[in-house]
Amino acid sequence: MVIETSKAAHTPDRAEATETDAVKCSVCGYVITPALGHTHHDVDTTKFESDETNHWNTCSGCGEKQNVSAHEFEWKIDKDATVTEKGSKHEECKVCGYKKTAVEIPATGTPTDPTPENPDSPPTGDNSMMALWIALLFVSGFGVASTAVYGKKRKSVK
């Protein structure tokens, strides 16, 4: 005696599989079409989220972080320091624009172009004290003249 069992077709519980849910038979639970799995196709690579160390893009479908990488900082001057006023600068990520807290640039304290002591005299680099050399010339000349006069006087006395 042969008993034939009924072989009815599966009855799907939904029309299409999604990223997370498979199409199953509503009668026996058989998986007709497996879940598709998540693909990060809705990631906007021009919009970044960030924390103190990294930046990333976020998948609009699942919220998962994509393209996580460390910041690439460079210094930006907010205000230049002057002779009397302090300035400020901060580090900013070149990729996502994340900014660290600004730090102070101290005032320079000295003018960048100091005025010369004697503006009428051109700088020559000669520091030889010319007045001393002129005085030495006169003293030497006086010594030579005195010796000559003393020598003539001595010859005329003999």
Does a structural domain hold residue 79?
yes
For residue 111, is it within any domain? no
Does 79 share its domain with 97?
Answer: yes
> DSSP 3-state assignment of 79?
strand
Separation CA 72–CA 97 (nearest Å): 9
Measured CA to CA, the distance from residue 96 to residue 150 in angstroms comes to 95
pTM of the model as a whole: 0.46
In a domain, 32, yes or no: yes
Q: Are residues 54 and 101 in the same domain?
A: yes
pLDDT of res. 99: 95
Give the domain range for residue 91: 49-105
Residue 85 lies in a domain: yes
User: Tell me: the pLDDT tens digits for 64-107?
Assistant: 888 899 999 999 999 999 988 999 999 999 999 999 999 999 98
Split into its structural domains, the chain has a count of 2
Task: Give the mean pLDDT of the chain.
Answer: 84
Q: Which tokens sit at 129?
A: 């004290």
Instruction: Extract the residue ranges of the chain whose pLDDT is less than 50.
Output: none
The whole-angstrom distance between residue 109's C-alpha and the CA centroid of its chain comes to: 25
